[in-house]
Amino acid sequence: MSVEFTPWPAELAERYRKKGYWTDQLLADIVQRHQQKNSAKLALVCGDRKYSYQMLDQQSTKLALHLEQMGLEKGDTALVQLPNVAEFYIVYFALLKLGVVPVNALFSHNRLELSAYAKQVSPRLAIVSSQHKLFATDDFVRTLSEQNPSLQHWVVEGEANFGTSLTALLTSNQDSETVSLNNIPSRLDAGIDASGVAFFQLSGGSTGTPKLIPRTHNDYYYSVRASAEICQLSTGTVYLCALPAPHNFSLSSPGALGVFYAGGTVVLASDPSPMTCFSLIKKHHVTMTSLVPPAVTLWLQAVPESSGMLDSLQVLQVGGARLGESLARRIAPELGCQLQQVFGMAEGLVNYTRFDDSDWHRFHTQGRPISDDDEIRIVDEDGKFVPAGEPGALLTRGPYTIRGYFNSPGYNEQAFDDEGFYRSGDIVSMTSDGYLSVVGRDKDQINRGGEKVAAQEIENQLLALTEVSQAALVAMPDDVMGEKSCAFIVTTTTNTTLKPITIRKHLRACGIAEYKLPDRIEQVAALPMTPVGKIDKKALRQQIAEQINRQQTQSLNTKKDAIS
Sign of CA dihedral 145, 147, 150, 155: negative
Alpha helices in 51-194 (DSSP H): 53-69, 86-98, 111-121, 139-147, 166-171, 185-188
Q: How many residues does the chain have?
A: 564
Nearer residue to ligand OOB within complex by CB, 402 or 490: 402
Nearer to ligand OOB, 100 or 106 (CB): 106
CB of 434 vs ligand OOB, minimal distance in Å: 16
In order of 217, 335, 486, 487, 504, the CA distances from 540 in angstroms are 43, 38, 9, 10, 20
We find the least distance from the C-beta atom of residue 199 to ligand OOB, in angstroms, to be 15
Check if the beta carbon of residue 147 is closer than 8 Å to that of residue 114: no
DSSP string over 394-430: EEEE-TTS-SS-TT-HHHHHHHB-TT--EEEEEEEEE
Minimum CB distance to ligand OOB, residue 283 (Å): 26
- When the beta carbons of 194 and 350 are compared against ligand OOB, the nearer one is 350
For ligand OOB, the closer of residues 53 and 261 by Cβ is 261
CB of 125 to ligand OOB, least distance (A): 25
User: Toward ligand OOB, which CB reaches closer, 224 or 489?
Assistant: 224
* Nearer of residues 315 and 321 to ligand OOB, judged by Cβ: 321
CB 486 within 8 A of CB 522: yes
- Shortest spacing between CB 486 and ligand OOB, in angstroms: 19
Evaluate whether 97 touches 64 at the Cβ level (below 8 Å): yes
Q: Smallest distance, Å, CB 208 to ligand OOB?
A: 18
Phi-psi region of 187 (alpha: psi -120 to 50; beta: other; left: phi over 0): alpha
Task: For residue 167, give the nearest of 47, 85, 68, 72 by alpha carbon.
Answer: 85
Distance CA 421, CA 402 (A): 9
User: Shortest distance, CB of residue 246 to ligand OOB, whole angstroms?
Assistant: 11
Rounded-to-integer distance, Cα 244 and Cα 451, Å: 11
Least separation, in Å, of the C-beta of 323 and ligand OOB?
6
Residue number with CB closer to ligand OOB (188 or 475): 475
Q: How many CB atoms lie within 10 A of CB 18?
A: 9
Nearer to ligand OOB, 107 or 154 (CB): 107
* Interaction site with ligand OOB (CB under 6 A): 204, 248-249, 253, 319-322, 341-346, 350, 366, 424, 426, 438, 441, 447, 452
Chain position whose Cβ is nearest to ligand OOB: 344
Please choose, from the candidates 365, 354, 289, the residue with its C-alpha nearest in 3D space to the C-alpha of residue 323: 365
Q: How far out from the chain centre does Cα 453 lie?
A: 12
